[in-house]
């Protein structure tokens, strides 16, 4: 290996240097960050050597925050300013949240997403999640000794568009470059499959703190193909705590509790749940502020009895996912258990009985998602992996559709479609001279609009007056590889167009994010402008590097004039990136993007032809490839 | 090759109804391995968009060619025979009669909770449908009689729907 490299201007001096990328499991109860080191995925620990970061954020009066174990200590004494399980509020309105009456927070019902009133001001769940992500980012950068190029953030497979968008917004707010949103069970399958060389159909049963996912995957050499997924984004280990809590109230005949007592008792219930994974009986004791003493014993059999409906509630989506995949329980070769809540013995037994086999528990159910995400991040960042290259084909969990006449849903993209995917549907006007059309985008399986989640509403205006039924309005849904939707509507006869990235009604606008970013940076004594400039410069460098690499690889796809134009655009971008005007850098990037568009097309075409022609050779038996 | 190439060309397959599914599977994966957005996660914006378009196209192509009914409809569309335009044409009376008998049998088994009978109906219909696809294959690939193939495919649309309803009934009995 050469110790010294002479770099051409614009070429990276070390084009194959290891890029720092992480996988983050942003959990309801705990969060983790992991990375690939010397070909092995490892969790990054905090200074005390602990891999988990409790997903708890405490807001102080001066606006500063405490995150993790230290914040968890505050929850019984200062429940209103200590936010736990914030993941349950992501992309959710007040009416969507279960057990809201037993929560200690001051909720503010904001359009789209609920907010929380703390002594440091009103906080969106996106901001609270960003605090957790910032802590993990800082941990990773300190541990790895450099700036991250990007992160893969995991989300429950059953998260809808609003919840995914909120997660991506939180990552942006934390200053992370999101390489991909990855479904949690898929991440677990990567970690499991690559470690075990698994082949065949696997089920991933993922019961987290607040969400439940089931995914059915087909693992073949180098391909992870999700066949179907299902779940419940408001069912998790927390609900088991809540059942114990209700049982304690009933058994102890307790009066309505104060917020602090409620939180204290809930903590005791959680401890009892954890204790019962290894012991036949758990004591639940607490001294309440009223002077009352709680002193009860909960045994395994009673625990199983009071949570029986919760356990069977997880099996319904399992059946549905199997049917969607066109499979039966005995087609499944292995069942991978993910999430701390799968440690409960009644879960292990129910899942084992259903599939007729012992579930696989040889990976730590707390860490497996983060490890899989780190492995994927490493691949996406462009680092060579020790193992073979693999391909991941994931699906969208819930159908996407439009409201039609009479409050009915017209499905445009069915659930379990492999992403990215797009589908167009044509609609027409129903009144003579109608010039505008309201488009209401929803997600869910039900026939009535009211039973589905509303994602966005927008209007296509400027339709020329025609008789009813004459206009042809083509609505196109595009779902990207993160599972996020954008919608375009176009009147076909006139070309009037309207498009929307589904954000406004449940997500945050870019301006809101920019505003939050500025606020948070003011606290960090950083300069938002300087950071934005730095980000543009990094993006420019990345773009130049990628273009140079493409030019070196495929010079034959361009004629001299085209090459010269691209080189010229690169030079201009280099010049812009050396300066400090973000706008000029962005214009230069757009120009280079424009000049390389056709080149990118040709490269894509070439790569497809190459892979297909390789196959033909092999077919007639003269090939020496493979 | 560009984004408007037909689905068969995209996977380098002959434009026929008879198709090796394992071959389709492996070519689909080969193409996705080249174009999937995960291969371009760190690429400039323009390339990421292009990759999304190609991967979307490959998914659409795979989904269309994988299912025999969709594949037959697509071949007819390529040959200029539009099924939609003809969907208002009445079906022959004997075919409709047969359909009604099927539906009555399914309904009866469903209300009676007769799992065994539903399973039997399912298998019988499955066998019938398979025979009809063999006929469609001969019409499309050998005789190239697209008009007759269109009629047969329209019948299959009814039958596939019925098959799905029996499957639905079976699933509802399982719950």
HEC secondary structure over A116-177: EEECCEEECHHHHHHHHHHHHHHHHHHHHCCCCCEEEEEECCCCCHHHHHHHHHHHHHCCCC
For chain B, how far is it from start to end, CA to CA, in angstroms? 48
The ipTM value here is: 0.89
Nearest CA among A139, A132, A133 for reference residue A44: A139
Q: Which of the four pLDDT bands, split at 50, 70 and 90, describes residue A498? A: low
pLDDT at A531 over 90: no
Contacts of A323 (CB under 8 A, 6+ apart): B171
User: Which of A389, A593, A611 lies closest to B31 in CB terms?
Assistant: A611
Using pLDDT thresholds of 50, 70 and 90, give the confidence band for residue A614: low
| The two structure tokens encoding residue A160 | 């809808």
Give the pLDDT confidence score for residue A8 in this predicted structure.
41
More confident residue, B143 or A75: B143
Say if B123 is an interface residue toward chain A (CB within 8 Å).
no
B167: helix, strand or coil: helix
Nearest CA in chain A to B53: A420
On chain B, the residues whose CB falls within 8 A of the CB of A594 are: 46
A86-132 per-position pLDDT tens digit: 999 999 888 888 777 778 888 988 877 899 999 999 999 999 999 99
Using CB atoms within 10 Å of the CB of residue A425, give its burial: 0 to 12 exposed, 13 to 18 middle, 19+ buried: middle
Encode A67-85 in three state secondary structure. ECHHHHHHCCCCHHHEEEC
The residue that leads in pLDDT, A544 or A384, is A544
CA dist., res. A471 & res. A252, Å (int): 67
Given a cut of 90, is residue A373 above it in pLDDT? yes
pLDDT at A22 over 80: yes
> What residues does A285 pair with on adjacent strands?
A295
- Known catalytic residues of A are 25, 87, 184, 206
Q: What is the pLDDT of residues A298-334, one digit of tens each?
A: 999 999 999 999 999 999 999 999 999 999 999 999 9
Strand partners, A551: none
pLDDT tier, A536 (very low <50, low <70, confident <90, very high otherwise): confident
Out of A61-70, A135-144, A493-502, B41-50, least confident range: A493-502
Note the pTM of the prediction, 2 decimals: 0.85
Q: Which residue has the tokens 């910032």?
A: A134
Find the closest chain B residue to A395 by CA distance: B59
State the pLDDT at residue A621: 34
Tell whether the model's pLDDT for residue A522 goes beyond 60: no
Beta carbons of A611 and B33 less than 8 Å apart: yes
First to last CA, chain A: 28
- Asked if A616 lies within 8 A of B12 by C-beta distance, the reply is yes
Instruction: Give yes or no for a contact between A182 and A154, defined as CB atoms under 8 angstroms apart.
Output: yes
Strands A391-393 and A421-427: unpaired
**Phi/psi-derived region of residue A68, left when phi > 0, alpha when psi is between -120 and 50, beta in every other case:** left
**B64 in contact with A at a CB cutoff of 8 Å?**
no
- Rounded distance, CA A301 to CA A276, Å? 10
Q: What are the CA-CA distances from residue A465 to residues A427, A475, A572, A596 (Å)? A: 15, 19, 48, 41
In A271-407, where do the E strands start and end?
281-287, 293-299, 334-338, 391-393, 400-404
Other CB atoms within 10 Å distance of the CB of residue A197 = 9
Least CB-CB distance to B52: which of A420, A546, A608? A420
Q: What is the pLDDT of residue B35?
A: 93
- Higher-scoring residue by pLDDT: A511, B78: B78
| Mean pLDDT of the region B18-46 | 91
pLDDT at position A560 is 93
Torsion of CA A194, A198, A204, A207, to 10 degrees: -50
Position B168 scores a pLDDT of 85
Structure tokens that stand for A349 in this block = 């037994």
Q: Give pLDDT tens digits for A161-194.
A: 989 999 999 999 999 999 999 999 999 999 988 7
C-alpha span between A303 and A283 (Å, rounded): 12
Distances, alpha carbon B15 to alpha carbons B7, B8, B18, in Å: 9, 6, 9
Burial of A434 (0-12, 13-18, 19+ CB in 10 A): middle
pLDDT surpasses 60 at A355 = yes
- Mutation site, A420, A546, A554, interface B, largest B CB count within 10 A: A420
- The predicted pLDDT at position A13 comes to 40
Instruction: Flag if A546 and B47 touch (Cβ within 8 Å).
Output: yes
Instruction: Give the residue-averaged pLDDT of B140-160.
Output: 93
pLDDT band at residue B15 under the 50/70/90 scheme? very high
Residue range B167-171: mean pLDDT, rounded: 85
pLDDT digits (tens, 9 = 90+) for A412-445: 999 999 999 999 888 888 888 888 888 888 888 8
Among A345-349, A381-385, B64-68, name the one with the lowest average pLDDT.
Answer: A381-385
Q: Per-residue pLDDT for A480 more than 50?
A: yes
b/e B107-129 (16+ beta carbons within 10 angstroms → b): eebbeeeeeeebeebbeebeeeb
CA distance A573 to A592: 8
pLDDT digits (tens, 9 = 90+) for A547-558: 998 999 999 999
Confidence class of residue A519 from pLDDT cuts 50, 70 and 90? low
Cα distance from B93 to chain A (closest Cα, Å)? 31
B92: phi > 0 → left, psi -120 to 50 → alpha, else beta; which?
beta
Name the 3-class secondary structure at A617. helix
pLDDT value of position A387:
55
Spatial contact of A491 and A427, defined as CB atoms under 8 Å apart:
no
Least confident interval from A30-44, A173-187, A462-476: A462-476
- Residue A375: pLDDT band (50, 70, 90) is very high
pLDDT band per the 50, 70, 90 thresholds, residue A500: low
Evaluate the CA torsion angle A361, A363, A369, A373 in order and state its sign: negative
The mean-pLDDT minimum among A471-475, A596-600, B101-105, B132-136 falls in A471-475
**pLDDT reading at A619 higher than 50:** no
């Amino acid at each position: 290996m050469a110790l010294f490299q002479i770099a051409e201007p614009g070429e990276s001096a070390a084009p194959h240097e290891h890029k720092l990328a992480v996988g983050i499991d942003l959990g309801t109860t705990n969060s983790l960050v992991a990375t690939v080191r010397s070909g092995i995925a490892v969790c990054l620990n905090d200074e005390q050597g602990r891999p988990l970061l409790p997903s708890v954020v405490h807001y102080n009066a001066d606006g500063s925050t405490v995150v993790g174990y230290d914040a968890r200590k505050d929850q019984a004494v200062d429940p209103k300013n200590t936010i736990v399980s914030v993941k349950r509020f992501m992309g959710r309105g007040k009416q969507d949240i279960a057990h809201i009456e037993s929560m200690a927070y001051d909720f503010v019902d904001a359009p789209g997403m609920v907010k929380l009133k703390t002594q440091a001001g009103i906080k969106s769940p996106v901001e609270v999640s960003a605090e957790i992500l910032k802590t993990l980012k800082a941990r990773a950068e300190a541990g790895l000794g450099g700036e991250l190029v990007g992160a893969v953030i995991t989300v429950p497979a059953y998260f809808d568009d609003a919840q995914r968008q909120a997660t991506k917004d939180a990552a942006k707010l934390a200053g992370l470059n999101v390489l991909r949103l990855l479904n949690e069970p898929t991440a677990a399958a990567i970690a499991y499959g690559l470690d075990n060389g698994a082949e065949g159909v696997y089920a991933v049963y993922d019961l987290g703190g607040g969400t439940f996912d089931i995914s059915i995957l087909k693992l073949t050499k180098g391909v992870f193909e999700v066949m179907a997924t299902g779940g419940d984004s408001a069912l998790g280990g927390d609900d088991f705590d809540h059942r114990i809590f209700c049982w304690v109230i009933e058994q102890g005949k307790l009066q309505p509790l104060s917020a602090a007592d409620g939180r204290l008792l809930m903590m005791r219930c959680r401890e009892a749940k954890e204790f019962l994974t290894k012991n036949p009986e758990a004591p639940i004791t607490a001294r309440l502020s009223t002077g009352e003493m709680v002193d009860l014993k909960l045994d395994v059999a009673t625990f199983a009895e009071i949570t029986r409906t919760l356990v069977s509630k997880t099996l319904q989506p399992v059946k549905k996912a199997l049917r969607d995949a066109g499979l039966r329980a005995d087609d499944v070769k292995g069942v991978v258990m993910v999430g701390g809540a799968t440690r409960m013995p009644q879960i292990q037994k129910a899942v084992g009985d259903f599939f007729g086999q012992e579930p696989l528990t040889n990976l730590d159910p707390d860490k497996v998602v983060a490890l899989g995400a780190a492995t994927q991040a490493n691949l996406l960042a462009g680092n060579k992996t020790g193992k073979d290259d693999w391909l991941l084909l994931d699906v969208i969990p819930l159908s996407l559709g439009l409201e039609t006449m009479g409050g009915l849903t017209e499905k445009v993209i069915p659930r379990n479609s492999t992403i990215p995917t797009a589908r167009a549907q044509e609609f027409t006007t129903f009144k003579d001279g109608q010039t505008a059309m309201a488009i209401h985008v929803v997600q869910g399986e039900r026939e009535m609009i009211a039973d589905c989640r509303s994602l966005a509403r927008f209007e296509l205006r400027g339709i020329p007056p025609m008789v009813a039924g004459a206009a042809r309005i083509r609505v196109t849904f595009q779902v990207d590889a993160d599972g996020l939707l954008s919608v375009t509507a176009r009147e076909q006869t006139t070309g009037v167009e309207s498009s929307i990235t589904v954000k406004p009604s449940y997500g945050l606008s870019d301006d809101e994010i920019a505003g939050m970013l500025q606020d948070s940076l003011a606290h960090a004594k950083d300069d938002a402008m300087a950071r934005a400039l730095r980000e543009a410069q990094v993006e420019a460098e990345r773009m130049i590097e990628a273009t140079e690499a493409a030019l070196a690889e495929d010079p034959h796809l361009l004629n001299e004039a085209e090459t010269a134009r691209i080189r010229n655009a690169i030079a201009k971008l280099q010049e812009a990136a050396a300066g400090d005007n973000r706008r000029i850098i962005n214009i230069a990037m757009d120009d280079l993007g424009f000049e390389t568009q056709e080149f990118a097309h040709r490269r894509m075409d070439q790569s497809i032809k190459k892979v297909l022609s390789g196959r033909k050779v092999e077919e007639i038996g003269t090939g020496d490839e493979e | 090759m560009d984004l408007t190439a037909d689905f068969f060309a995209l996977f380098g397959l002959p434009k026929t109804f008879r198709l090796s599914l394992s071959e389709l599977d492996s070519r689909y994966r080969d193409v996705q391995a080249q174009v999937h957005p995960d291969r371009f996660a760190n690429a400039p914006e323009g390339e990421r968009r292009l990759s999304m378009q190609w991967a979307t196209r490959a998914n659409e192509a795979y989904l269309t060619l994988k299912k025999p009914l969709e594949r037959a409809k697509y071949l007819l569309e390529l040959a200029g025979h539009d099924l939609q335009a003809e969907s208002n044409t009445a079906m022959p009376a004997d075919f409709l009669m047969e359909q009604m008998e099927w539906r009555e049998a399914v309904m009866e088994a469903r209300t009676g909770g007769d799992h065994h009978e539903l399973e039997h109906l399912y298998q019988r219909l499955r066998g019938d449908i398979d025979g009809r696809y063999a006929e469609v294959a001969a019409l499309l690939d050998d005789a190239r009689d697209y008009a007759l193939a269109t009629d047969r495919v329209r019948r299959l649309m009814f039958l596939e729907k019925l098959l799905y309803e029996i499957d639905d009934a079976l699933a509802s009995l399982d719950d």
